Chain A
Amino acid sequence: MSDGRLDVRLWRDILHVGLFFQIVRDMDFIAQVALVRVIMISGKVAVAGYGLAMFLLTMAVSAIGCSAARRAS
């Protein structure tokens, strides 16, 4: 480690913990893309409405999450 080379064993440990969770995040993103593709059937206005709605909901959810975390701390 101290000689600047990549520590394969350490990175294997990190991937063991974090890789699956990262795949979950990627799958959530892919699922959202698939949902937008379904909404696209209804036209541009529907996509704009869906985007605005999701922005508002995710913003609200993030605010709620931050509020809960601060309350818990």
Chain B
Amino acid sequence: MIGQNAGAGDPARAAACLRLAVTWLAVLGAVLIALATFPGPVLRIFTGDDQVIARATETIRALRWAMPAGMISGALLRAYTAVSPNKLGNAISIGCAVLTIVIANTWPGAPLASVAAAMIASQYLRLGLLAALYRRLFRAAIQRRAAPRRADGVLPSGPRPVLRNRALANRALTSMTRSASF
């Protein structure tokens, strides 16, 4: 939706889509944290082993704090990628994945504590960096795409970005189909 609206030269609607997605993910993430406090009944649907349920409960309680950051940063990364190639945002995500591995293997303490520390640190770092780059990676990109429309108040007579993207998609689909047939 964000890519479609940005391609159609409607930056306000693209930004509104992202705002709505982030708001909903924040609210639902908070609900998830609350529900994850007592996951026992749901876990019993999948197994009756008390030891496994105890371990799973412990794991969910430790990792639930990373989930909202993971969801929101994932939404931001996909939104940025929808409007530009977004090498910087993706490089940040790759760096945070490497950081996850490093922290998990070097953090002192129990294995679950190491995993929780790695996930929470890397997810919130990714969220912070991506949020800090909102203006550069998203706002500027959708404004650039809308520039021809804003210059004279009407759409340009030539192909609009959305049409170019659709043509590109059609060409890719044709290419893949033909490649697969050989």
Contacts and interface: CB of A to CB of B under 8 A. Distances in A.
Interface of A: 1, 4, 6-7, 10-11, 13-14, 16-17, 20-21, 23-24, 27-28, 30-31, 34-35, 38-39, 41-42, 45-46, 48-50, 52-57, 60-61, 64-65, 67-69, 71-73
> Could you tell me the dominant secondary structure of chain A's interface residues?
helix
B43 A38 contact: no
> Majority SS of interface residues in chain B?
helix
B112 A39 contact: yes
B60 interface: yes
B162 interface: no
B71 A73 contact: no
Interface centre among A39, A45, A52, A54 (most CB of B within 10 A): A52
B38 interface: no
Interface residues of B, number: 65
B129 interface: no
B144 to A, nearest CB: 16
A49 B87 contact: no
B4 to A, nearest CB: 11
A72 B13 CA distance: 11
A73 B1 contact: yes
19 contacts: A1-B171, A1-B175, A21-B86, A24-B77, A27-B93, A38-B105, A39-B111, A41-B111, A42-B112, A46-B55, A46-B111, A49-B57, A49-B58, A53-B39, A53-B59, A56-B39, A60-B35, A65-B71, A67-B28
